[in-house]
Amino acid sequence: MKKHNFSAGPCILPQEVLKEASDAILNFNNDNLSLIEISHRSKPFVAVLDKAIDLVKELLNVPEGYSVLFLQGGASMEFLMVPLNLMKINGKAAYTNTGVWAKKAIVEAKSLGRVTVVGDSSDKNYNYIPKGYEIPSDVDYFHCTSNNTIYGTQIKEFPNSPTLLVCDMSSDIFSRTVDVSKFDIIYAGAQKNMGPAGTTLVIVKDKILGKTKRKIPTMLDYNTHISKESMFNTPPVFPIYVSMLTLQWLKNLGGVEAIEKVNQEKADLLYGEIDRNKLFEGTAAKEDRSNMNVCFLLTNTSKEQEFNVMWNAAGVSGIKGHRSVGGYRASMYNAMPIESVQVLVDIMKKLEQNKDD
Ligand SMILES: Cc1ncc(COP(=O)(O)O)c(C=O)c1O
């Protein structure tokens, strides 16, 4: 039985993508060579990279004047590359502090300049999205995290920024429509809605770069990768290939608008049950609930053992909550079918019906 994979990341990918990727490991393009044993500068691989870039541009409606890069080092490397590329010497930046990942981004920025935290939800273990804050206009950029994977909170409306707007979209990119033209840099580790870990998508507005007067190490300079079209060094060929396949899968489904509707249906189904069933409660503020990561607790912890046995037996996998929140976290990325969410909901209903002995 194939499992119902609710893992927070790395996470579920479409079955057909996994199948095609496995075939390409053995025999890519019917050329009797593996995808991972041909030159990254060969025509077949350059075509893969070009297609991946075109699909990103098409699916997200990326306007002219932006570069699409596939880099390495994960989203965590972008925590450093963003300030290196945007913060002036003795410069300043504004950040929201909405959890572990935001805090890690702040640490890197602080190593290069001053950071003002303009919105902070640490007072309630990050269970909400700060709102109503003012972004100073005299900072070099403002950074936010669109979806807080660990706490299950998601920005529903991005702030209007008087300065450059940078966003970590690692855990909700391609899950909902966004107006890319509002942003100056968007970055995301591949391993949620795109592909395997190992590449990071960066969408950067070209004209904002090269203004810091800072000496940027070659590999950490966005302009290096723009000028070499993500081929300054050997790119992560396999993660890029699988990302291309996943984006093609998404396009075939009808694109981001179509998947956004399905993601909303899945979220409505699971949150609906959490709110209806007295045995469960959600941990995130209702208006900030993430459609990707649903965090919830059992109100009656004596049911824990029983619940765990039930979901394990049904083939549900990866719903143990992050240690800093506890309870459960069901991640429902693009490739998760609504049928799997229904399986989890049915178990929750059954738990309610089971008589206490
Ligand atoms: C929102 C967010 N940002 C950043 C990261 C870190 O990504 P990476 O492991 O690719 O460095 C994660 C990882 O889960 C994440 O969820």
Distance (Å) from CA 302 to ligand 1 centroid: 33
Strand pairing class (185-189; 200-205): antiparallel
Distance (Å) from CA 7 to ligand 1 centroid: 14
pLDDT at 2: 85
pLDDT tens, residue by residue, 63-99: 999 999 999 999 999 999 999 999 999 999 999 999 9
pLDDT at 148: 98
Q: Which of 232, 227, 220 is nearest to 108 (CA)?
A: 220
pLDDT tens, residue by residue, 239-275: 999 999 999 999 999 999 999 999 999 999 999 999 9
The residue to mutate among 71, 76, 106, having the most atoms of ligand 1 within 8 angstroms of its beta carbon, is 76
Indicate whether this model's pTM tops 0.95.
yes
Q: Which atom of ligand 1 is nearest to the CA of 104?
A: 4
- 345, 307 Cβ separation under 8 angstroms: no
- 253, 63 Cβ separation under 8 angstroms: no
Asked if pLDDT for residue 343 goes beyond 90, the answer is yes
Taking CA atoms only, the protein residue closest to ligand 1 atom 15 is 170
Q: Which of 225, 183, 194, 211 is nearest to 67 (CA)?
A: 225
Q: Which of 192, 205, 266, 311 is catalytic?
A: 192
Residue corresponding to tokens 């059992």: 298
- How many helices (H) and strands (E) the chain has is answered by 9, 14
pLDDT tens, residue by residue, 280-300: 999 999 999 999 999 999 999
CA 152, 155, 161, 167 torsion: positive or negative? positive
Taking CA atoms only, the protein residue closest to ligand 1 atom 1 is 170
Please provide the distance, in angstroms rounded to a whole number, between the alpha carbons at the two ends of the chain. 31
To the nearest whole number, what is the mean pLDDT of the chain? 97
Indicate if 249 belongs to the active site: no
